[in-house]
Structures are given as C-alpha cells and as structure tokens.
Structure 1
C-alpha cells in the first residue's frame, strides 16, 4: 500500500527551535484553552519556529482524546496566520488501532505534522515496526515525523527502518531523543543523503553537538521557559561561531538543573511538569500549574526553586554572545 499524499500548511522549518509545549490544564484537569492560546502567542512573540503540542512534555499519555483535541484546536486557532509557525501534534499509543484512532482524530484539525513514536509496551522487531509505521502513516495525509525515544518505548528504530520509511514517502522528519551519539551520527548521515528529511534533537544538553554533526534543529523542553538561549544558540550556529555556540550550550546546561527539585512523594515527571508550568505561571503566561492525575501536585513546593532559576536565567541572558550585525 502506498502512502497518501502528504501536505502541510507550514512545512518543517530547518535550523529551527520548537519547544515541546507543556499542556496548560484547568484546576479540574481539563484543557485550559485560554492559557494554551496565551502560550502559543508567547512562543510566536519570542520568534520561535513552532511548537510540538501533545508530546511527552505535554503529558500526552495521560490525556483523554477529547482533551487532546481541545488542546490542539486551541493551539492551532491561537497562532497568527501572518507569521510562519509550525504546529506538530504528538501521538502516543499501545498499538496500531489506538494510534490510527488518534491520528485520524487529530488530523481532522489539520496540524502541520504528526510526531509518531514506536508503540509502547513491547520490544518489536524492525519488520514489525515497519508494519506499525506503515499502518499509521497511511491512515493520514498529514506528514509524519518519526520519534526515536527508546527511554519510553524500550525499542530503537534505527537508520535502516527510518531510511526505508523516508524512501517510501511515509516520514518527512526524525526527532531523536535517544541520548546516543552513535545514533546521532547515523541519523545525520541519513538526512545528508535525503535533503528533504529533517532531523531535530531532543537531547537538551548536547544541542550544539548535534547541530555541528549536521542536525537541523531542536525540540528542547527548556525552550518553554528560556527560549532566548536556544534561539541565540541556533543563530550562532548559522554563523558558524561554534565556540560561542558552546558557551550558550553551557548556560543552557546550567539552567537544565531547574528540572531537579527533590519533592517527597513526587516522581521526576511530576516535578518536571510542575516546575515548567510554575515558571510560566510566574511569567504571567499561563494561569495554572495543574498536572495530570496521578502526578503529585507539587507546584507550591517548587515555587521558590523555580524563582531562583528564573533569576539565574535573567543573569545569564545578559552575557549571551552578540550576533553579527548582518544576522541580527
């Protein structure tokens, strides 16, 4: 079966920063459409290239489909049509039937791309993974980006499978959050041979290395809160100023410690969501720091921790390397 023609209203941007947007929730756990719209507008005002909606950072595995649709709809309606802004929608599923139902429901809203990882729960073979991706990709005319995230799926997609899917016209990009430098090298070689295939990294503490190796951009969680660092990093990379890129990466890595706040009874994920959302609440961008059940509600306990890192971010921003006047 051949893949359907894939079209997007906003093509995948290269040399891009697109945050994996946290999902603003109302106190009852439902979608907070107003805060979602505010966050999208904030991203556009910061000159970000787009956003991943309903990714892992968006608590996608815990949200019912109707909430996912409400969040995606609010995000799509909020963007300024006069400014290019790519909206990617995340899929997470246990198997092909679940994935196809999500893909078709979200495709009706016309996101620009869909981000699809391997199904969770089993260690599938490459042949089985090809069957899965073919089934999912052929169920939509929205372009698909394959998500390499073995820490969640417990299986590696690999260059052979992704190259085959690209050559079949079933995927237009890769998001690599493997944390494996060998895979980065495999995937940059893959995209170098396929000029229309885009590679983003989700490895926040080594964006500079991936860009130097030939990656196209990043989908970093910290860009929800500190986008100025990621935008400066990628602009400096365009100029080939790799020593300055490394300096900005070091600042990002200092700010990365915001994720680590020891809260009794809370998982790392609960802390992550509460920390990022509380930072956005403190910035007046979203209204609530609500997290999905059964995560521990620990926003009040991380408030001071977040404030310290927001102050650190402001301090480090003052030392960001300047851009060349031609590029500024």
Structure 2
C-alpha cells in the first residue's frame, strides 16, 4: 500500500447460499453498496465475515471474487487469522496472488500466548508475508490482548503498518495511541462503532465498523464529522449509530445476535441472502419482523429494489 489507510473500512459480511457456497450475486451487490456509500476500503474474512467458520476453499473463493469485483477501486484487506501459522501464510499467499493490498491477523486463538510469544509469532509471520500486515486485537475471541509495548516492538518491522482494536476498551486504546505517538505512518482503527467518532477525535485513523455493511454513508459521514471536529454533527449521527447498535444488534439472546441481525437486515434490504455459516442459524420470521421494524424506525429502509 502506497498511502496510509484512513477512514471507514467495513468488515464485510460473507454472503452465503449455504455454509460452504458463496453468494456471488450478493457479494457483488454488497460491494457496490458500500462503495456507493463512500467507504475507504474493505476488510474480508474478519469476525463479521465469519472467517473462522469458513472452509479454506470458500475463503479462497471469497478472496478472488472480492478482488475481481473491487478491481482496485478500493484497498482490499484480507483476514488470515488461524491457529496455525502455516495456514495463515498459505491464506496470505492466496491474497497476494489475487491482488489484495494487505492482510490482517489476530493472535492464534486456542492456546493462550504470553506477550513474548506474541512477539515471536508475529516476527516469524511477517517475514513470510508478501503483503503488509495489520495487527488485530480481539481479546474476547483470542484470550490475549496486545500490550502497547508489544505492538511497538512488532511494528518495528516495516511491513507491519497498522492496528485494529476491537477490545472496546477506550483507556487501553488511548494507551496504544500514546505508546505509538511518534509513528505518523502507522494506522489505528477501532472496531466497536459506538466509540469510533470519539476515537477519531482523539487521534484514531478510522473505524472497521460492521454497521457500514448496512448503512455505509452513515458511518462515513460520522467519520468525516469527527475528523472535522464538528461536534453538533457528530452528536446527531452518533445517535443514529447507537440506534443501530441498540436495535439491530440486540434482537434475540444469542452470542451471535449482532451478526444474525446484520445479515437479516441486509436480506431485508435485498443485498444478500439471510444465511449464516454453521453452527449459526438465521432469524425466524418473528425476529425478522423486529429487524424490519428497526429499519423502518431508522428511516433507512429502501422501498425500491436494490
């Protein structure tokens, strides 16, 4: 990547026809939808993309099809998180050959790693990559968090170019920004969209926000308002973001409710099928009706075909 990445980078959902069949038509619709909304890049095979639930064959197909559809209009980031460094490298090679711009890696998520083991893992990984690397902090899923000093040490390698934090811990994120305050070339992104605007006003470069799959322009507008320091506009748009978070992501009582709600909303909008990879299931008609009402209340529901 020739320029530092900044802005809104949706962690793209993976449109599916079943657990091992990619919905290519849905993928095309979704990518065009987020591009039209003004996003600054696309991240596939992350948490929202159900990356760990997909077969290597399907991951490979998604990478190649996403790159083909994007056709270099935006930077393409590819998740390569895996319990095996060998498999991470293998997936990164697919991304490189397909024309992706960077890869994203969370720590191996079965055995708990110490900070020194994290450093060693990433020093070994980065030397085997053809593409630049973003570190991905997701302690809820991986049982370990990057210490700020660990990030700084790993980032000494010139091919490590950014950091995405999905901890939801504002104090932690500020400590990372402080520890890396002399690295203007390094990108800092937050995952939780509820704190994106505040993080940008405090020095973050943008958000990797799931809601930008559904309402890309909302998140892009909020990012720009925060970047410009327009507090009135931030307050107005933040209220919409919180409405998305408190409704669409909180239907049902599943640990995956945010993902189930997101895919259901996208299917209502005609962008993809309401299909999740196993073991997760789509919402039934009762829960889908709640999502429909939430979209209507948000005044974003489109009546014309998309």
TM over 0.5: yes
Partner Cα distance (2:294, 2:196) in 1 = 20
**1:67 CA drift (Å):** 0.2
For 2:252, the equivalent position in structure 1 comes to 262
Partner Cα distance (1:116, 1:13) in 2 = 16
Q: Is the 8 A contact 2:39 2:217 kept in 1?
A: no
- SS of equivalent residue, structure 2 residue 103: strand
For 2:167, the equivalent position in structure 1 comes to 178
For 1:146, the equivalent position in structure 2 comes to 135
Question: Is residue 269 of structure 2 the alignment partner of residue 280 of structure 1?
Answer: no
Partner Cα distance (1:254, 1:273) in 2 = 16
For 2:23, the equivalent position in structure 1 comes to 32
Q: Say what the alpha-carbon RMSD is for the aligned residues.
A: 1.9
For 1:240, the equivalent position in structure 2 comes to 229
Which structure 2 segments of 5+ residues have no match? 302-306
For 1:228, the equivalent position in structure 2 comes to 217
- SS of equivalent residue, structure 2 residue 81: coil
Please identify, of 295-304 and 188-197, the stretch whose mean Cα deviation from structure 2 is larger. 295-304
Cα deviation code 1:135-163 (max 9, x no counterpart): 22111121100001111111011211111
Post-superposition, which runs of at least 4 consecutive aligned residues in structure 1 deviate over 4 A? none
**1:72 CA drift (Å):** 1.4
For 1:66, the equivalent position in structure 2 comes to 57
Question: Is residue 278 of structure 2 the alignment partner of residue 293 of structure 1?
Answer: yes
TM-score (structure 1 length as normaliser): 0.86
- SS of equivalent residue, structure 1 residue 132: helix
Partner Cα distance (2:38, 2:216) in 1 = 9
**1:118 CA drift (Å):** 0.7
Partner Cα distance (1:309, 1:224) in 2 = 16
Instruction: Tell me the matched-pair count.
Output: 300
Map residues 1-328 of structure 1 onto 2, 5 A cutoff: 8=1, 11-14=3-6, 16-27=7-18, 29-81=20-72, 83=73, 85-257=74-246, 258-262=248-252, 267-269=254-256, 271-286=257-272, 288-314=273-299
For 1:324, the equivalent position in structure 2 comes to none
- SS of equivalent residue, structure 2 residue 17: coil
**1:299 CA drift (Å):** 4.9
Partner Cα distance (2:19, 2:289) in 1 = 24
